[in-house]
Amino acid sequence: MSRVFAPLAFVVMALFAVAPIIVSNAPYEQTMGLVQKVFYYHVPSAMLMFISAFVCGIASAVFLFKRSAAADRVAVAAGELVVLFGIVVLVTGPLWARKAWGVWWEWDARLTSSLLLWMIFLAYLLVRRYGGPGSEKLAGAMALFGMANVPFVYVSVNYWRTIHPKTSVVMTLGPGMRSAFWFCAVSFGMLYVLLLTLRRRLEDQQAQVERLYLALDD
């Protein structure tokens, strides 16, 4: 694993260094102008927030139903990343909205449900930290409900009257925008894999530490 880690980290850093150049070469959007370029970081972060919520939910299901401690460690890592990418989405979005819509925030379906999804996984982390023994299972249940929330967040923008751009935007991008977007999406995706692996390794090592403490006590 460590043999893959260093080159992967290098690749991710290179991608992120190149990204601003690629983004500035992408064409402007007709109505929103320069500020639309937040899109290239905002949407991949949102995609990863959803993907991470799924990873956390599935890992929690495996943990609850198959009693796999390893799955629980993946779930914790994924849960933290939902909150991290969620913060990114919830800060870059309003910065874009301030220019595009004139307001920092709107209580429309997409924004409200995204905020709630983020809060569900924040509660996931809180209960793991402060719930005492046995709180991993409770957190797992939280993650399952959070995962069930994700499709709802995703389609909310297509079915409710909302000012947030629809999901059709990504699939109908023009060639200049499309390449920039998918470049950023791939960079973020690789970054996500890197962070997930690192965080999970931290959990594995902590579990090992606890095992060793118990072994020493005997």
Partner 1 sequence: MKRRLVTVVVLVLAVSALALAGQPPATPAAQDGFVPVNSLPQAEQLPAAPLLIAAYSFVWVALMVYVWFLWRRMSRVERELADLNRRVQNR
Partner 2 sequence: MRQFLRVAWVVMRKDLTVEMRSREIVYTTVFFAASCVLVFAFALVREGRPLEDAAAGILWISIAFAGTLGLGRTFERERHTETLRALMLAPSDRPAIYVGKLLGILALLAVVEAVLLPMIGVLFHAPVMASPGWLLALLFTGTVGFASVGTLFAAMLVRARSRDVLLPVLLYPITIPVIIAGVRGTAAILQSAPDEPMARFWAALLLFFDVVFVTLSLWTFEPLMTE
> In the complex, which residues of this chain contact partner 1 (CB under 8 A)?
16, 20, 26-39, 41-42, 45, 84, 87-88, 91-92, 95-96, 98-100, 158-161, 163-166, 168-169, 172-174, 176-177, 191, 195, 198-199, 201-202, 205-206, 208-209, 212-213, 215-216
Applying CB under 8 A, does 65 fall inside the site for partner 2? yes
Applying CB under 8 A, does 152 fall inside the site for partner 2? yes
Applying CB under 8 A, does 213 fall inside the site for partner 2? no
Judged by beta carbon, residue 93 or residue 146, the one nearer partner 1 is 93
Q: Is 79 in contact with 117 (CB distance < 8 Å)?
A: no
Q: Closest Cα partner for 183 from 13, 19, 32, 5?
A: 19
Amino acid at 157: V
Residue 49 contacts which entry, partner 1, partner 2, none (Cβ below 5-8 A, type-dependent): none
Tell me the C-alpha distance between 173 and 206, whole Å.
44
Backbone phi, psi, residue 80, to 5°: -65, -40
Q: Closest Cα partner for 114 from 87, 80, 140, 141?
A: 87
Applying CB under 8 A, does 202 fall inside the site for partner 2? no
Residue 126 contacts which entry, partner 1, partner 2, none (Cβ below 5-8 A, type-dependent): partner 2
Tell me the C-alpha distance between 89 and 78, whole Å.
16
Q: Is 49 in contact with 82 (CB distance < 8 Å)?
A: yes
Q: Which residues bind partner 2 (CB under 8 A)?
A: 64-65, 67, 112-113, 116, 119-120, 122-123, 126-127, 130-132, 134-135, 137-138, 140-142, 144-146, 148-149, 152
